[in-house]
Copies of this chain bind each other. A is one copy, B any other.
């Protein structure tokens, strides 16, 4: 613990980085007043206003005496982590889209470079209480995004989040976990090993300092970071009021594309996804290729394997094909009557159908080729 300075503080409030760290300790995520003050005055002057009890700034004094940025940074260092502040090379430019709602700083652990990871990234989120179907798809999408070189961003929770991270790791891709607690903690406990794997290969980050507990409020605000750090957000499974919907709405507010994976309408675990689709918030996505299409600039990652349009014959050809008998060949005059088309029209249609292998010419006339499609 650092010694107290003259102002009763444990740190030098004139150091801009320490001031940011202090702000991340004395404020809760999403505190709009604090963000605006820091954005307008800078962290040092803003802290001074809080210390002096300037009107409107007094409530931030409550936690100031306990704030100890030097100790927080030392804790981070023990976990091999590093601090990112706005403007630093590794700071993801995507976070600036949050405007005054951008975090004061980011506490990160892992070899992945945050700025680079967010350049091609997709958030894959959803319910903790997921079904086998949902986890299967989250893993498939996570792996498919990884194979296409996209970072999978999620919240390391049980259910969809965990399946998405694991899918990404299985696809050999970078994955990024945004926690609602300090990066020195593993929440949920059952995902301790998963979070350690992400910290070893990808990136674990948080806007709250080491030691912070994952409160419900922090979960809600954490979602804005997931949305902002991703080019698109996809909800795989979500109940009608799932927190994943908050992430989806935040992404939409930031102008990021939102996708939702449909499911059985009889499954409550897909009700939130269908809600997003119905309300026009999300686009329907069914596989990793469609997810990447959502996240990538238009034309950048077109999927060459997408199915083509409907197979349709021109009207006359279709009518002639309809009139062709399957077994015994029919003469041109008979086909003309059945199809209701002139003989010349029928003859030229038959020529085209023959070329496509749909009609067979015989001595007695024409019949359909049963071995081919079109029936």
Contact = CB atoms under 8 A, between A and B. Distances in A.
19 contacts: A26-B340, A28-B319, A30-B315, A58-B342, A59-B345, A62-B341, A66-B337, A216-B321, A216-B322, A217-B318, A240-B307, A241-B310, A241-B311, A262-B263, A262-B284, A274-B284, A277-B284, A278-B285, A278-B290
Nearest to A58: B342
Interface residues of A, number: 55
B241 A262 contact: no
Interface of A: 26-28, 30-31, 58-60, 62-63, 66, 133, 137, 215-217, 220, 240-241, 245-246, 261-266, 270-271, 273-274, 277-278, 283-287, 290, 307, 310-311, 315, 318-319, 321-323, 336-337, 339-342, 345
Given A137-B265, A274-B286, A215 B322 contact: yes
A310 B245 contact: yes
A374 to B, nearest CB: 8
A265 B261 contact: yes
Nearest to A263: B264
Nearest to A136: B266
Given A27-B340, A241-B310, A315 B217 contact: yes
B278 A340 contact: no
